[in-house]
Amino acid sequence: MTLVELGRELRDSGYHFTTVTPATHERVNRRPGNERAKSLRDVLGWSRPFEPGLLPDRIVKLLDAAGALATTGDGLQRSLVRFSSYDDEIFVHSAFPTNAEDSVFFGPDTYRMADAAAAHVEARSRPVRRAVDIGCGTGAGAITVAKRAPGAEVLAVDINPEALRFARVNAELAGVSTVRPCHSNLLTDVDGTFDLIISNPPFMIDPAGRAYRDGGEHGYELSLSIIGVAAERLAEGGSLVLFSGTGIVEGQDPFRAAAAERLSETDLTWSYREVDPDVYDEELDGPAYAHAERIAVVVLTATRP
C-alpha cells in the first residue's frame, strides 16, 4: 500500500507530530506566517497548503499515488491526509479540517483512550486472548492493545470504510499482524465473546450530525449502547474500557447517572473517573452546550466477575 510506503519513509526520516484539538489547530494555523507550509511537518501535521518544490519528490509522488494530493485554486498543493505520532508509532488519518462525513479523527482523546487501554492491559491478572476496539477509527487503540497482548486476536471494527482503510495501513506500519479490521455496527457483524472491549465513541452533541463526532441527543447515547453490548459480549473476567465525555450540568454528571442505571441491570462491577475536567471549552459558546458549565472526558471500566 502506498500509504504504508509513505509512513515508513516518514518514520525513517525522523518525522514526529503530536496532533492537537481542532480549536488549537485552527488557532495556530491562523497566526501570521502560517498561511503556507514551510516544512514537511507543516504539510503532513498542520495540513497547510504548500508550494510545488517544497517537499522531496518521493514524498509528493507517494501522496499522489495514494490519491492524497490535491491542488488548490491558487496553484498550491495540499495533502488530504495527516500523520501523527503515538507510542513510538506513526498513524495516518484525515487532514484538517475534519469536516467530511467520513473523516477519521486522531487527537488528544486518541492519546488518552489508548493510554487507558494500555494501562488496563498491563494491570490485568488474566491474559487477553480476544479483544475488540469498537469504532476503531485509525486503529490506534487496537494496535496499542495488540502490542501489549501479542498472543491475542484483536478486532478493529468500524462502520466507516475510510477508518478501516487507515486502520489496515496503521497496523501494517506498526508491524502487528494480529489486528483484524472489519466492518461492523458495534458488534452486530462479529461473533463471540471478548476478554477486552475498548472504545472511544463519538460523545459530543454535534448539530452537524457528523458520524465521527456525534454521540446523540445528549452526547452519550452511543456510549450507553456500547455498555449494553459489553454486558452481552464480555467473557468471564472480561472488561470494558470506555473513554467518553459528558457535559456537566449544575455540578451533576448526567452520563454517569445514565451509565449507573444501565449497569445496575447487569452483573458487571465498574469504576468511573474524570480524566480531564475541562475540555472543548469553545463548545460552551454554542447552543448545543448552553446548558452545561463544563465538558469533561471520562473513563468507565466495567468487568464481568
pLDDT band at 99 (very low <50, low <70, confident <90, very high): confident
The pLDDT tens digits of the residues spanning 116-163 come to 999 999 999 999 999 999 999 999 999 999 999 999 999 999 999 999
What one-letter code names the amino acid at 146? Answer: A
CA distance from start to end of the chain: 43
With CA atoms as reference, report the closest residue to 121 among 91, 159, 87, 160. Answer: 87
Spatial separation of the C-alpha atoms in residues 201 and 182, rounded to whole Å: 16
Q: What is the pTM of this model?
A: 0.95
Is residue 209's pLDDT more than 80?
A: no
Give percent of the chain above pLDDT 70: 99
With CA atoms as reference, report the closest residue to 41 among 96, 100, 83, 99. Answer: 83
Sign (positive or negative) of CA dihedral 275, 281, 287, 290: positive
Mean per-residue pLDDT, 224-232: 97
Spatial separation of the C-alpha atoms in residues 221 and 201, rounded to whole Å: 10
Spatial separation of the C-alpha atoms in residues 246 and 103, rounded to whole Å: 22
Spatial separation of the C-alpha atoms in residues 95 and 45, rounded to whole Å: 8
DSSP 126: S
Relative to beta strand 179-183, strand 153-158 is: parallel
Distances (CA, A) of 168 to 11, 63, 110, 158, 181: 17, 17, 17, 12, 6
pLDDT of residue 101: 85
Mean per-residue pLDDT, 61-76: 94
Residues in a beta bridge with 295: 247
Which of the residue ranges 22-26, 91-95, 206-210, 288-292 would you say has the lowest mean pLDDT? Answer: 206-210
Is residue 213's pLDDT more than 90?
A: no
- What are the cell numbers at 168? 489496515
What mean pLDDT value characterizes the chain?
95
Is residue 219's pLDDT more than 90?
A: no
Q: Which helix (H) or strand (E) holds 9?
A: helix 2-12
- What are the cell numbers at 285? 459558546
pLDDT of residue 129: 97
- What are the cell numbers at 246? 459528558
Helices 2-12 and 161-174: crossing angle in degrees, nearest 10, is 40
The pLDDT tens digits of the residues spanning 1-58 come to 799 999 999 999 999 999 999 999 999 999 999 999 999 999 999 999 999 999 999 9
Contact 242, 297 (CB under 8 A): no
Domain chopping of the chain, boundaries: 2-94, 108-303
Q: What is the CATH number of domain 108-303?
A: 3.40.50.150
DSSP 95: P
